[in-house]
Structure 1
Amino acid sequence: MSAPEKKLFAGSLSLICLSLLVLAGAYIFAHRVELPAVGGDNTEALIGTPRLINPLYASTNDADADLASLIYSGLMTWDPAQGYINDLADSVTVSDDRLSYTVRVKQNAKFSDGEPVQARDVVFTYSALQDPDYRSPLASDFSDIKIEQVDDQTVLFTLKNPDPSFTHKLTTGILPENLWSDILAQNVPLASLNLQPIGSGPYAFQEFTKDKKGSIRTYTLKRNTHYYGTEPKIEKFIFKFYPDESSATQALINKNVEAVGYVAFEHRGAVENNHGVNLVYSAIPRGTALFFNKENALLKNAAIRLAIAQAIDKNKIVSEVLSSHATVMNGPLFPGTTAFDSAFTGTTFDPSAAASGLDTAGFQKPVGATLRQIPLTAVQKAAKKTETTEQTIPELMFTLTTISSEEFVRVAEEIKDELSLLGIGITIKTIDAEHLMSDVVVTQDFELLLASNYGATNPDPFFFWHSSQTGKGGFNVAQYQNAEVDKLLEKARAAKTEEEQDVFSRQMQALLVKDVPAVFLYQSMYTFAEPKKIHLNPPPQLRIPSDRFANVEDWYIKTKQTLK
């Protein structure tokens, strides 16, 4: 081969190699995908102090509940997309009479110390819940239930009466029997395992630090390498604790933390301006309503209650006051529950009908007047005939009591403005949230009350509307009593199936709303902040605040590249 031919051959070979490299690069570029990888950590601010990171008690403290939701797992879990699904339970078999539930525990489930999760652990946990010596706030949910171990992996729950939502109660984290059984019930709250727990959830305890006063300052969780479910990707969660929402938000602004477990309404603007975080809004079963005190002589008048309900523009409150971060409610049944009926409109916004109703009831607004007048009764008229001086006719006015938070005050001001157009005067009175129950609800010291009912894991309207829940200690804020509504609430509780329960609940809702004991306004959003470095699919709704971690196994920070 001549020299020119050799040069031509070498050039052609180089061109071929270069082309192959280009084609290979183009192929790799076109077929390269990024997949979640293990690595990275997240530092989050929580409000409060952990005390009992134990499923028996954690529901009473948000910080405990957040940590327990990551460390422990239950027979069932709540999934944002699918609802209640199996977790530690491999299978759940229900008898035909719906009184027996046979639960098989997964064979591969282990605690974070490597010990297997077995039926004895389930029996111990639920027996402890039932035992009054343990003083668990969850005890009432399991008071009439028999729990038996069938074999190493199988547990039998026997109910006295059918409960369509029984499996929803099986989300309680399971305790390792071998570590807890030797601790006397009265000593359980003092056990070191409450702060150094062993559970079967996606994360495990690593360490905590305390300040000079002995309060926990930081709490670190690491991936549970024995976890039976989808492998979590984020290596560590480091939690820091703050006394209130303001200090937690300030810690985020000062970059002492990367995330905040709860962002209050008044702090959302400051967090939204932080370009390093995403503000996440998820619906939660907290319903805000305007409650009537029917002991008030005027509010006993159904025409006044109905007129107030018709004069309030819920859509405006949600869209303008709450920036669309809420959902309009037309009754006591929450969106997202099976009983919820989207076609139910309740009392619709109709200011003309409201004005006409008050006119017909005798509450007239004189020409040029701002407020309507209260009509004189026959007794007042008779008394007026004997008076030598002119009698002042009282105006239609009420005091609206609410919590001294920015959200409630803004909503109260909007209601005041809307009712003023109807000719009803409103004076707003605020009270600290911690005094609401003792100083307002228990004493019934209000005329109109703007407040929230929180359904938590079991948004059962029985607690808020059955006549047995009136009086001191009850949650029937409006002191509402209706025998037919009581019967429907009781039938819903006694129903054998969820479908039957839903029918009774919807019938109850229709009757209750017709009586207008309150104006149902909106369902709140729970707001939290996570750093943009975390890839997550925010849950559209929660049952409780700790449910924001419901799909934590899918969160990731690091990625790896591979060919598809």
Structure 2
Amino acid sequence: MTSLVYAGLMRPDGNGGLVPELAERYEISEDGLSYVFYVRKGAEFQDGKNVTVDDVIFTIETAKNPIVKSPMRAGWEGVEIEKIDDKTLKFWLKRPYAPFLENTTIGILPKHIWKNIPIEQLNLSELNLSPVGAGPYKISKSFKNGSGLTSLTLNSFSNYVLGEPYIGKIVFNFYPSEVELLNAYQNGDIDSISAVSPQNLAKITRRDGDIKSMNLPRIFGTFFNQNEKPIFLEKPVRQALEMSIDKKQIVRDVLGGYAKEISSPIPEGSFGAIALTESEFNLDKAKTLLEKNGWKFSQEKMIYMKEEKKQATKELSFSISTSNAPDLIRTANILKSSWEKLGAKVDVKVFEISDLNQNVIRSRKYDALLFGEVVGRDPDPFAFWHSSQRNDPGLNIALYTSSKVDKILEEARRLVSREDRAKKYEDFQKEVQADSPSIFLYSPSFIYILPKKIKGVDTEDIVTPSERFANIYKWYIDTKYVWKILHKNN
């Protein structure tokens, strides 16, 4: 609901970029260390109070407070704020950080409403159930039962800075399971649904909706831990494993076609993405590659083995760790089947997501990890691929090390020019592709069903499911107009 009720200085445009929302305009210094924002004159909250720089500062300082545990906190750490006047403020960065503008999509809180709430009580405040923002819609009704919120009614905000939405009222109903959600849609109780799995999408018989498929800046792949499993130190082994996978089968059979095959760490729809390098699915060639590098197939053990002087015999045997998400379990089993056809022994280990994060990923206790990464609209691959991020809390789950890539990523995050940064990201991806530290499998789509009468929905790229509403103020209902004389005659 936050994307509907609240407004930020900037707003996602639904096509991979950002547009000014509460900000009339902004300026970036040549050195990339300061950003000046000018708040629109006439911008107001849904209670009629004007939006000022004080509200922006209050919101950001609140997000920076560790007690609040805001997911936006990390993006604002080390950023200093200077109030120039009631409608102008400046952000000071300690060092250039190209994706900084993403931080300014944070929804602005009205200080006059929240300032007297103790910081420890913010997350539990009743104000969260009747929020006041400056976004395109305001909440007019809410219904709860013993288990929680069941529905919300939103009405358009007439003074929204980008123009009052054409659709005057939207009702959201909430369901405890996907099964109940699908039943409500099939029965005609609701007209739109989202976050439907590809498997259940095929079961829908209702035909008066348009299926919208939107790009998500997320990648799923298999990340090899060379520290836990020394066989992954051999590049030909990693290449042979990728060559024996039919990525198209995974996209088709697991995701119902609602995903895109990928070959690099930045997916389509994110800034800096490069064209797909078509993967070569060739089991015979994969076996030949292993054999050229000293691996021999053991008829006794039915796997590839490698003997080296003064070293223990290696076996092409390892485990894949993943979460208990149905799509990932099915993908893991396809990988297992494919690699066993190659001549490997593979064990699939499935964990609850909290257990996987806490006891497997953080401690780096896995041979191969089937997992996803949220790359973002304007990515900073540093956390995922810089060698300094190999250990927790870093996110380099491939434990990848490359001095060349380190230098590229360090330089890229300091560049203000998008053109220069895009070139760095291209170089980065080509280096990673050449090193093959991981097998990049797919980038999923977000599935959303809308009534066919809803027009003006041109959103293609989103970072979070809520961004499907990025352009909701432009949506309208297709209406047929009939001349009164014709209506009277009929």
Aligned equivalent of 1:290, options 189, 208, 222: 222
Distance (whole Å) between structure 2 residues aligned to residue 98 and residue 330 of structure 1 = 31
* Counterpart in the other structure of 1:314: 247
Residues 488, 508 of structure 1: 8 Å contact kept: yes
Q: Structure 1's 439 and 269: CA in aligned 2 closer, same or farther, altered over 3 A? A: farther
Distance (whole Å) between structure 1 residues aligned to residue 363 and residue 452 of structure 2 = 47
Residues 408, 450 of structure 1: 8 Å contact kept: yes
Distance (whole Å) between structure 1 residues aligned to residue 380 and residue 32 of structure 2 = 20
Query: Deviation at 1:517?
Result: 1.7
The equivalences for 1:256-405 within 5 A come to: 256-271=189-204, 273-294=205-226, 295-319=228-252, 321-342=254-275, 345=277, 348-365=280-297, 371-379=302-310, 396-405=316-325
Structure 2: 5+ residue stretches without partners:
484-490
Distance (whole Å) between structure 2 residues aligned to residue 429 and residue 403 of structure 1 = 8
| 1:81 equivalenced with 2:15 (yes/no) | yes
Residues 266, 407 of structure 1: 8 Å contact kept: no
Calculate percent identity across the aligned residue pairs. 31
Give, as a single letter, the amino acid of the residue that structure 1 aligns with 2:17.
G
Aligned equivalent of 1:139, options 47, 53, 73: 73
The equivalences for 1:441-480 within 5 A come to: 441-456=361-376, 459-480=379-400
Q: 1:530-550 deviations in whole A, cap 9, x for unaligned?
A: 233433525222111111001
Residues 469, 475 of structure 1: 8 Å contact kept: yes
The structure with more radius of gyration: 1
Give, as a single letter, the amino acid of the residue that structure 2 aligns with 1:292.
F
The equivalences for 1:64-79 within 5 A come to: 67-79=1-13
The equivalences for 1:167-182 within 5 A come to: 167-182=101-116
* Counterpart in the other structure of 1:228: 161
1:559 match: secondary structure: coil
Q: Structure 1's 394 and 512: CA in aligned 2 closer, same or farther, altered over 3 A? A: closer
Deviates more, 1:161-170 or 1:466-475: 466-475
Residues 282, 538 of structure 1: 8 Å contact kept: no
Aligned equivalent of 2:52, options 90, 114, 118: 118
Aligned equivalent of 2:95, options 161, 183, 205: 161
Residues 127, 147 of structure 1: 8 Å contact kept: no
Give, as a single letter, the amino acid of the residue that structure 2 aligns with 1:354.
A
Distance (whole Å) between structure 2 residues aligned to residue 190 and residue 314 of structure 1 = 45
1:365 match: secondary structure: strand
1:460 match: secondary structure: coil
Give, as a single letter, the amino acid of the residue that structure 1 aligns with 2:193.
V
Query: Deviation at 1:200?
Result: 0.9
Give, as a single letter, the amino acid of the residue that structure 1 aligns with 2:427.
Q
1:450 match: secondary structure: strand
* Counterpart in the other structure of 2:29: 95
Distance (whole Å) between structure 2 residues aligned to residue 81 and residue 447 of structure 1 = 37
Q: 1:430-453 deviations in whole A, cap 9, x for unaligned?
A: 333343212432343432322211
Q: 1:387-423 deviations in whole A, cap 9, x for unaligned?
A: xxxxxx9863333333333322333333334334432
Q: Structure 1's 187 and 327: CA in aligned 2 closer, same or farther, altered over 3 A? A: same
Residues 218, 444 of structure 2: 8 Å contact kept: yes
Q: Structure 1's 396 and 120: CA in aligned 2 closer, same or farther, altered over 3 A? A: closer
Query: Deviation at 1:465?
Result: 1.7
Give, as a single letter, the amino acid of the residue that structure 1 aligns with 2:113.
L
* Counterpart in the other structure of 2:149: 216
Aligned equivalent of 2:353, options 410, 426, 433: 433
1:561 match: secondary structure: coil
Distance (whole Å) between structure 2 residues aligned to residue 79 and residue 100 of structure 1 = 23
1:373 match: secondary structure: strand
TM-score, normalising length from structure 1?
0.78
Query: Deviation at 1:96?
Result: 2.8
Aligned equivalent of 2:419, options 471, 491, 499: 499
Residues 76, 86 of structure 1: 8 Å contact kept: yes
Give, as a single letter, the amino acid of the residue that structure 1 aligns with 2:144.
K
Aligned equivalent of 2:326, options 406, 426, 446: 406
Q: 1:454-510 deviations in whole A, cap 9, x for unaligned?
A: 224553222222233223333222222333322322222222332332333222222
Q: 1:68-101 deviations in whole A, cap 9, x for unaligned?
A: 1000111111112371111111111223333222
Structure 1: 5+ residue stretches without partners:
1-66, 382-392
Residues 363, 372 of structure 1: 8 Å contact kept: no
The equivalences for 1:186-205 within 5 A come to: 186-205=120-139
* Counterpart in the other structure of 2:488: none
Distance (whole Å) between structure 1 residues aligned to residue 250 and residue 441 of structure 2 = 8
Residues 16, 269 of structure 2: 8 Å contact kept: no
1:270 match: secondary structure: coil
TM-score, normalising length from structure 2?
0.89
Query: Deviation at 1:521?
Result: 1.1
Give, as a single letter, the amino acid of the residue that structure 1 aligns with 2:324.
S
Q: 1:30-74 deviations in whole A, cap 9, x for unaligned?
A: xxxxxxxxxxxxxxxxxxxxxxxxxxxxxxxxxxxxx01000111
Residues 262, 529 of structure 1: 8 Å contact kept: no
Aligned equivalent of 1:490, options 410, 434, 441: 410
Q: 1:166-207 deviations in whole A, cap 9, x for unaligned?
A: 222211111112222233323322332221111111100112
Distance (whole Å) between structure 1 residues aligned to residue 255 and residue 121 of structure 2 = 46
Distance (whole Å) between structure 1 residues aligned to residue 221 and residue 334 of structure 2 = 14
Q: 1:296-319 deviations in whole A, cap 9, x for unaligned?
A: 132222221121122223234334
Residues 290, 520 of structure 1: 8 Å contact kept: yes
Query: Deviation at 1:133?
Result: 4.9
2:306 match: secondary structure: coil
2:173 match: secondary structure: strand
* Counterpart in the other structure of 2:487: none
